[in-house]
Amino acid sequence: MSTVDQPFGIQRQRNLESRDGWERYAVHRRHVMELLVEDLVPPAGRLCVLGAGNCNDLDLAQLLEHYEQVHLVDRDRAALEFGTRQQQLATHSRIVLHGGVDVTGDGMELTSPSSRARTTANSTNSTPNETHDRHDWALPGPFEVVVSTCLLTQLLDAVRLSLGEQHTDLTESVLSVRDQHLRRLVSLTAAGGRFVLVTDIVSSATFPDLAHVPNENLAAALIRLIAAQNFFTGVNPFALLQFYHMDPATSGLVSDVRLARPWLWDFGPRVYAVCGLCARKKDTVETIRS
């Protein structure tokens, strides 16, 4: 397997292994759904889900009660087909599958320092519409609501697999891919729409007591873990929040940026702490000054 194909092969294997996770994901799915249907007055236009996979974290029938269309995006089309069949909605006319989509937008060429620097400069200096034109992945956006469902850490894992843990450019490359993903959430969202980033932050692999932390103590526990640098590189939720206040390409476009209360996700072999970042795209675009 080539270096480029290796991350996808691993993700496809993870999708196969987690196909039986519907019941196990129940609490995690409830939290994700709360973020996607809160404050909505049906019909709420179109929803785009990035990294939908087996759809174990989505109640598709409930989404159809709130949205005119649900667009499911993942590189692993077989996982999307399985997920819609599992929920008996494989042929529903208002569910649209976008399989085979490389949700990095640029493939793993971002792991090259020269291409990374070029892409970062382009993203930072472009207007949001120009960025969207280059990286729309042929999706029929913009959408009224866009959500990334625990996709970010998969993208960052792909960088680590491609470069290797000892590569001198690893941290810079991880942050570059993260920043591009955060910008694309904005570019895929319609003016006046809303976007949500759901991401895992830390797992029981590095904090074995995670599964036993009471819900009411989880936020405080995460603050301590972040202070101790015990979290996945690139997904510090406070850094993600700060990004949308400081990033020159998107800070003038977003409002009402907030973090939802964290929750625990039983993944089977591991337990993850998960957080949701929610924001709204402004109705009018402010001029971005260099």
Do the Cβ atoms of 66 and 93 come closer than 8 Å? no
147 closest CA partner among 52, 269, 82:
52
What are the tens digits of pLDDT across the range 229-246? 999 999 999 999 999 999
- The count of residues in the chain is 290
The model's pTM: 0.86
d(CA 273, CA 211): 9
Predicted local distance difference test score (pLDDT) of residue 33: 98
- CATH 3.40.50.150 assigned to 5-281: yes
Predicted local distance difference test score (pLDDT) of residue 42: 78
Query: Which residues of the chain register pLDDT less than 50?
Result: 1-4, 107-136, 287-290
Delimit the domains of the chain by residue range: 5-281
d(CA 173, CA 274): 23
Instruction: Return the biggest CA–CA distance within the chain.
Output: 50
Predicted local distance difference test score (pLDDT) of residue 40: 80
